[in-house]
Amino acid sequence: MDGPQFSPEATKVTFDEDSMWVALKDGRTIGVPLAWFPRLLHGSPAAREDLFISPSGLHWDELDEDIAISTLLAQRWESTAPARAA
């Protein structure tokens, strides 16, 4: 089957008030509520930003949190980033 190759590897992670946004190498963005990850929800903004992106997932040493990209994709939680207010 020919077509574009999709890579579930994360390239960037950002946060807004209540969501985590994961940009993937293939151009997709996954948005998930922070409420689904209590350690991230209750962590400081600085602790959330202190993460390691590996080929398989996201890792926060300080918050003791690991999230596999394949798990996020399996749940079909894909979305697009919300529009910013002007």
Task: Name 46's Cβ contacts closer than 8 Å, sequence gap at least 6.
Answer: none
User: Do residues 60 and 15 lie in contact, with contact meaning Cβ atoms separated by under 8 Å?
Assistant: no
**DSSP single-letter state for residue 7:** -
Query: Whole-prediction pTM value?
Result: 0.77
Question: What are residue 42's phi and psi, to 5 degrees?
Answer: -90, -5
65: in domain: yes
In a domain, 54, yes or no: yes
Distance (Å, whole) CA 15 – CA 21: 6
Residue 44 lies in a domain: yes
Structure confidence at residue 56 as a pLDDT band (50, 70, 90): confident
At residue 24, the pLDDT reads 93
Instruction: Provide the pairing of β-strand 10-15 with 65-68.
Output: unpaired
Domain annotation covers residue 58: yes
What sign has the CA pseudo-torsion 71, 75, 78, 81?
negative
Query: Residue 33's domain is classified under what CATH number?
Result: 3.30.2020.40
2 lies in a domain?
no
Q: Is residue 3 in some structural domain?
A: no
Query: Is 60 exceeded by the pLDDT of residue 78?
Result: no
Q: How many domains does the chain have?
A: 1
| Domain with 51 in it | 10-74
Q: Please state the rounded mean pLDDT for residues 73-82.
A: 56
Among candidate residues 7, 5, 34, the one with its CA nearest the CA of residue 23:
7
- Judge whether 17 lies within some domain: yes
